[in-house]
Amino acid sequence: MDKTKFILDEKDMPTRWYNILPDLPEPLPPVLHPGTGKPVTPDDMAPLFPMDIVMQEFSPERYIDIPEEVQAIYRIWRPTVLHRAYRLEKALDTPAKIFYKYEGTSPAGSHKPNTAVAQAYYNKKAGVKRLATETGAGQWGSALALGCMYFGLECKVYMVKVSYNQKPYRRIMMETWGAKCVASPSTDTKAGREILSKDPNSPGSLGIAISEAVEDAVTTKNTKYSIGSVANHVLLHQTVIGQETKKQMEMAGFYPDIIVGCIGGGSNFAGMFLPFVKDKIERKKPNLRIICVEPQSCPSLTKGIYAYDFGDTVGMTPLFKMFTLGHTFMPPPVHAGGLRYHGMAPIICHLYRLGLVEAQAVPQVATFEAGVTFARTEGFVSAPETNHAIRVTIDEALKCKQSGESKVILLAHSGHGYFDMAAYESYLSNKLQDYDYPETEVKKALASLPKVPGA
């Protein structure tokens, strides 16, 4: 058997983040102010984010230096390992060559600290004392709690209620690092109280949790808002993944034919594929396939419409041009809480509209079937979100078995599932269920999209 893992030295870790904005074939549609309908300015964003973050959101620079203080913390777990999945290949009896970049070795167990540490650093630099945020499955909340611990910031996390109940150890992890975590919708904010008054049993959603966190940030002294996905600066910070992977694929002697990753807001997968999609844009690798995988029950790219919408449920955020199911849409309570979001990162939506990436939606039970196959071959127990990408990776490898093609498939493995064992127990005991695409509920939510003249 040939080499099974490809490890970079610390000196090979990226020292700059890659910004896709100047390389896009067409400019990204502007973010609009919810009150005026005009493009937002840096000053409009200042109540939410420190100015360094705001400027990164709109930066025309192709590369942005990673501060040494951030690099020093990255070195705790970065560079991460690229693995060759020989055992999975053998089990599938496929001629495909499968590689996976494993982000589960960070202290929080996922890719999320790549941006959490950076955001905590820039807030500390700006004199901010406290950060407020939302989290779905708890991966982001625990990552920001970690980042705040490193830089001595207070942290308040609004965790989607269904995940708060399903994944108590994520909450405990946040609290261990010093953060405060509450179930969303909560009674701590006006937004939460209003939603609970209408539906006391609301399971919550990322949109609701964002509303609460944004309200907290703008109404609490010395507090800013921190977001774990969707925004340009978040995807920017995650490009350390793809930059490392390009070097490691060169070490392996291959370039991917297909790159697969899960998408909720899009941060992990964009972090992987943005350095590669640059090659596709420049026609160096025109046949590269980039497959975004989302839940069948919350399929924003495959079933949503491309329109301006709020990033949150109440309507407090700016308006983003994205594929959306409607900001009031309440996703079914699937275990992949990090993928239960009504919209998608504008950069990913833009690339999808331009035909540079593709998308597939998969049902919940099939993803856990794939996750168990991965665990019983490669050994890693993957997060429910990651299982979506594993499902399509396996499907593509089986297509190679049928065609006899030896394609190179690269999987963006976003993190481990060691705090998601209740979900695996449900699957192994045949209690896990699929949720159909809630077309009627989506139609209701889309009817409340904001009216944007000329958009």
- State the pLDDT at residue 455: 63
- State the pLDDT at residue 337: 65
Q: How confident is the model at residue 240 (pLDDT cuts 50, 70, 90)?
A: very high
Summarised one tens digit per residue, pLDDT across range 379-388 is 999 999 999 9
Q: What percent of the chain has pLDDT over 90?
A: 84
- State the pLDDT at residue 437: 83
- State the pLDDT at residue 77: 97
- State the pLDDT at residue 339: 81
Residues 182 and 206: their CA atoms lie apart, in Å, by 13
Helix (H, G, I), strand (E, B) or coil at 64: strand
Summarised one tens digit per residue, pLDDT across range 346-384 is 999 999 999 999 999 999 999 999 999 999 999 999 999
- What contacts 388, CB < 8 A, 6 or more positions away? 262, 293, 294, 295, 336, 339, 362, 367
Q: How confident is the model at residue 454 (pLDDT cuts 50, 70, 90)?
A: low
Which pTM value belongs to this model? 0.95
Sign of CA dihedral 23, 30, 314, 433: negative
> In the CATH hierarchy, which fold is given to the domain comprising 19-66+112-232?
Rossmann fold (3.40.50)
> What mean pLDDT, rounded, does the chain reach?
94
Where, residue-wise, is CATH 3.40.50.1100 in the chain?
A: 5-10+71-109+233-446, 19-66+112-232
- State the pLDDT at residue 57: 95
Instruction: List the structure tokens of 170.
Output: 């994520």
Q: How confident is the model at residue 1 (pLDDT cuts 50, 70, 90)?
A: low
Q: How confident is the model at residue 448 (pLDDT cuts 50, 70, 90)?
A: confident
- State the pLDDT at residue 44: 93
Q: What percent of the chain has pLDDT over 70?
A: 99
- State the pLDDT at residue 97: 98
Q: How confident is the model at residue 223 (pLDDT cuts 50, 70, 90)?
A: very high
- State the pLDDT at residue 245: 98
| Better pLDDT: 314 or 404 | 404
Residues 73 and 114: their CA atoms lie apart, in Å, by 9
Q: Is the pLDDT of residue 27 over 80?
A: yes
Tell me the CATH number for domain 5-10+71-109+233-446.
3.40.50.1100
Nearest to 210 by CA among 192, 196, 233: 192
Average pLDDT of span 123-141: 94
Q: How far is CA 288 from CA 90, 283, 291, 356, 409, in A?
A: 24, 10, 10, 9, 10
- State the pLDDT at residue 137: 80
Summarised one tens digit per residue, pLDDT across range 279-311 is 999 999 999 999 999 999 999 999 999 999 998
